[in-house]
Structure 1
Amino acid sequence: MNNLKKEHPTLMNNIRLIATDMDHTLLTEDGKLPPKIGDYIQRLHNVGVQFTIASGRPIYTLQRLFEKEKNELAYICDNGGAVYVHGKNVYKSLIPVADYHEMIRFTDKTVDGHPIVCGLDAAYIPKADARFLPFYKTFYANVIQVDDLSTVTTEANKFTIYFPKNNSQAQYDQVFAPRFADRYSVVVSDANWIDIMNPGVNKGQGMRQLGAKLGVHTDQMMAFGDTFNDAEMLQTVKYGYRVANANPGIYQYADYVTGSNDDYGVLQVLDQVLAAHA
Structure 2
Amino acid sequence: MIKLVVTDMDGTLLDENGHLPDGFTDILDRLRAKNIKIVAASGRPYYTLQTNFGPVGRYLSFICENGALVVDNNEIIYKSVLAKDMVQNVISEAKKVKANALVICSPNCAYIENYSEEYLTEIKKYYTTLEIVDDLSKIDDDIIKISICNLEGTNNITDSELTNDLNIVSTAAIWTDISNKGVNKGVALKSLMNTDNISKEETMVFGDYYNDIEMLAEAEYSFVMENAPEDMKQYGKYIAASNVEHGVLRAILEYAL
Q: TM-score range by the shorter chain?
A: over 0.9
Please say if residues 21 and 55 of structure 1, whose CA atoms lie closer than 8 Å, have aligned partners that are also in contact: yes
Q: CA deviation at 1:135?
A: 2.3
Distance 1:177 1:196 in 2: 13
Q: 1:106-144, CA deviations, whole angstroms, 9 ceiling, x for partnerless residues?
A: 111245211111111111001245653232121001000
One-letter amino acid matched to 1:221: T
Describe the SS at the equivalent of 1:127. Answer: coil
1:166 aligned onto 2:166 = no
Alignment correspondent of 1:196? 178
Distance 2:159 2:230 in 1: 20
CA 219–111 in structure 1, closer or farther in 2 if over 3 Å, else same:
farther
Q: 1:183-239, CA deviations, whole angstroms, 9 ceiling, x for partnerless residues?
A: 111100000100011111111111111112222122211110111000111112111
Question: Bigger CA drift: 201-210 or 265-274?
Answer: 265-274
Q: Which runs of 5+ in 2 are unaligned?
A: none
User: Normalising to structure 2: TM-score of the pair?
Assistant: 0.95
Bigger relative contact order, structure 1 or 2, given CA contacts below 8 A and separation 6+? 1
Distance 1:176 1:268 in 2: 41
Distance 2:115 2:225 in 1: 37
Please say if residues 228 and 249 of structure 1, whose CA atoms lie closer than 8 Å, have aligned partners that are also in contact: no
Alignment correspondent of 2:212? 230
Alignment correspondent of 1:205? 187
Q: CA deviation at 1:37?
A: 0.6
CA 30–213 in structure 1, closer or farther in 2 if over 3 Å, else same:
same
Alignment correspondent of 1:143? 130
Alignment correspondent of 1:49? 36
User: Normalising to structure 1: TM-score of the pair?
Assistant: 0.88
One-letter amino acid matched to 2:64: C
Q: CA deviation at 1:253?
A: 1.2
Equivalent residue runs for 1:20-59 within 5 Å:
20-59=7-46
Please say if residues 118 and 156 of structure 1, whose CA atoms lie closer than 8 Å, have aligned partners that are also in contact: yes
Structure 2 counterpart of 1:181, from 140, 151, 163: 163
What is the root-mean-square deviation in Å for CA atoms of aligned residues? 1.6
Sequence identity (%): 32
Alignment correspondent of 1:242? 224
The runs of at least 4 consecutive aligned structure 1 residues that moved more than 3 Å come to 128-131, 175-179
Distance 1:189 1:208 in 2: 20
Distance 2:118 2:246 in 1: 33
Equivalent residue runs for 1:101-112 within 5 Å:
101-110=88-97, 112=99
CA 177–226 in structure 1, closer or farther in 2 if over 3 Å, else same:
farther
